[in-house]
Amino acid sequence: MKCIYIYTFVLFAMCNISVFAQNTAQQINKAEQELETLLKQEQNLKNKLEKLRLTKVQEDLATAGLPKCNSGCEVIKHQALALCYDEEHEQARWVAHIIIPAVTLGNLNRTNDFREDDKISSGSATLNDYWFSGYDRGHIAPSADFRWTAAGISESYLYSNMSPQLAELNRERWAELEGFIRDYVITRGKQVHVVAGGILEKGLGTIGESKVSIPKWYYKVALDESEQRTIGFLLPNKDCTYPLQSYAVPVDSIEALTGIDFFPNMPDSWEKSYSYKAWTSEDDTVIPDVTPMKPPLPKGLFNTVQARLYEGETITVCGTVVATKLSKKSGATFLNLDKKFPNQIFSASIWKDNRSNFSYAPEAFLLGKKVCITGKISMYQGKPTMNLKDEGKVVIVDDVEF
């Protein structure tokens, strides 16, 4: 009888274990189904959120106003960016997009799905135009700015968003500039409007059967509407050896060069000046007037006061650049040494045609520096001035004691 009891107990236990195991398996299956449902819901919410953000981007682009220019380029609106395609140069005259704080949370990677833009009525550039050309397919709007949207990353690889850049620019200073503006969004948590492109003009060299123009200069402008803050950058299509700050300029100076009104619905006053340090979380410092260098200077050098005595002669004048201006009307750059307008005692000018002889933006790079410049002295409204034709006529002497 005892054996019967033991057998019955074991059988009962085994049945219960089987039931328990079956119940656990069912619970696991149910939990997996619930998780799958939640994951689908999460993905649906992410897709909805992406679409809403893309809609907001288009609304905000319209608020600032899409760039306006006199050329006959074709305006194309994609989901994450807008551009104006210039058939004559087979690339965009401008590409506009917005970097939003969600870029911080985005984890999408490059897709490298380079392809033609079917929205361009005349047809965009192609792979064959760039293949073995010696130039990179330089993104105008970088894919990393769209890490939060698969649609945006994909659109960034359209050939309408490409321009032939030398590797020395594309992979170095241009990439640094892209990261600079993106870091501003990440650290401040504020969205930034960005417009960029190559400066397209007559007589540029070309690549490929489509004759894609090779810009000599590239620009990028940025707007933080919440802070009423703008900044522009102008970089030559070559190895940019100077620090990024050297290529910073006011937005309206780039408007003068390109003929493009980048933010037509925003006040023009926002575009007339910039503070590089403000974009790096520091306040800009106004350069104060300084006392001219005390003579006698080393042989062959003269201070800004002595310059007026040498009208018509070619000499070297030394002083501190306390004010600069890039004229929107003429494209000329003006430098004041030691004293600012209207109390200036000596000035120098770089005419528009000579600007390409400088590897940096002189109005940004030279501001606040002690320099010695060489040229012919002429008088303008009773004040000595000098015309600078190339970078070699300017020597930085910050570390030299006179």
Beta carbons of 96 and 194 less than 8 angstroms apart = yes
Amino acid in the structure at residue 159: Y
| Catalytic residue status for 139 | yes
Catalytic choice (78, 89, 97, 139): 139
In the chain the first and final C-alpha atoms are separated, in Å, by: 118
| Active-site residue list | 139
